[in-house]
């Protein structure tokens, strides 16, 4: 896990210069920060990330010449703007609750454990088929990534995903959408390894 503190704008700009990207930055614009409302009180907080997500955040910061904290604030602002403008259905709430029940105390996501994992839980719940909108499929894809990377000896990823999709009773379009979402969350080297496992 990686951790950093959401600092003031001045400290962010200084710290950005000290960060080492995992690849050469392609953007040479001046450092930018996500704007604050001057009337709002600033609250300092610490955020803990999975290492792979933190790596992506550092790369994005260098690419866009923005501080890491600014990107986090921007993403949160966009997320809340989207959620506040869209209604959350009763089925959405049930799915959010089910996904939360599959999360461990120290993080992670339980996909396949008997009774406690997502597959068994979704089979027992009346939350299948058309209730899985693209928004919810994207959220599940992120949980699946966390869960899959938590296996000590991971099973074939495509086979595991197919078991999940069968339990969710997704139609062909939903399956295609979710498969692409999950594939996009894994690095090319991981894609290659997954393909090798199938051979």
Runs of H (alpha helix) within the chain: 9-18, 51-64, 68-85, 90-101, 118-124, 134-148, 157-168, 172-184, 188-198
Residues 80 and 144 in one domain: no
| Domain edge (last residue) among 85, 112, 143 | 85
Rounded to whole angstroms, the Cα distance separating 175 from 196 reads 22
Of 51, 85, 119, the residue that ends a domain is 85
Residue 66 sits in which domain range? 2-85
Which of 85, 107, 130 corresponds to the end of one domain? 85
* Predicted TM-score (pTM) of this structure: 0.57
DSSP state of 130: G
Are 64 and 98 in the same domain? no
Report residue 179: phi and psi, to 5°.
-60, -45
- Report the pLDDT value the prediction gives residue 34, as an integer from 0 to 100: 53
Output 160 or 11, whichever has higher pLDDT: 160
Mean pLDDT for all residues in the chain: 79
Give pLDDT tens digits for 135-175. 999 999 999 999 999 998 989 999 999 999 999 999 999 99
Q: Tell me: do 46 and 121 sit in the same domain.
A: no
C-alpha 9/C-alpha 188 separation (Å) is: 35
Residues 180 and 105 occupy one common structural domain: yes
Residues 66 and 104 in one domain: no
Kindly state whether residues 80 and 100 are assigned to the same domain.
Answer: no
């Amino acid at each position: 896990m990686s951790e950093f503190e959401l600092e003031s704008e001045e400290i962010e700009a200084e710290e950005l210069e000290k960060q080492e990207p995992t690849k050469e930055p392609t953007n040479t614009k001046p450092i930018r920060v996500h704007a604050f409302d001057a009337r709002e009180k600033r609250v300092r907080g610490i955020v803990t990330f999975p290492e792979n997500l933190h790596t992506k955040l550092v790369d994005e910061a260098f690419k866009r010449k923005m501080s890491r904290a600014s990107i986090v604030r921007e993403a949160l602002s966009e997320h809340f703007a989207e959620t506040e403008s869209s209604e959350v259905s009763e089925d959405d709430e049930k799915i959010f609750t089910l996904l939360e029940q599959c999360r461990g105390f120290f993080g992670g996501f339980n996909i396949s454990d008997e009774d406690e994992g997502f597959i068994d839980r979704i089979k027992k719940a009346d939350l299948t088929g058309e209730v899985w909108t693209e928004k919810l499929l994207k959220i599940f894809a992120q949980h699946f990534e966390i869960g899959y990377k938590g296996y000590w000896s991971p099973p074939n990823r495509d086979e595991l995903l197919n078991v999940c999709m069968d339990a969710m009773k997704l139609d062909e379009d939903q399956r295609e959408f979710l498969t692409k979402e999950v594939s996009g969350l894994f690095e090319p080297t991981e894609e290659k390894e997954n393909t090798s496992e199938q051979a």
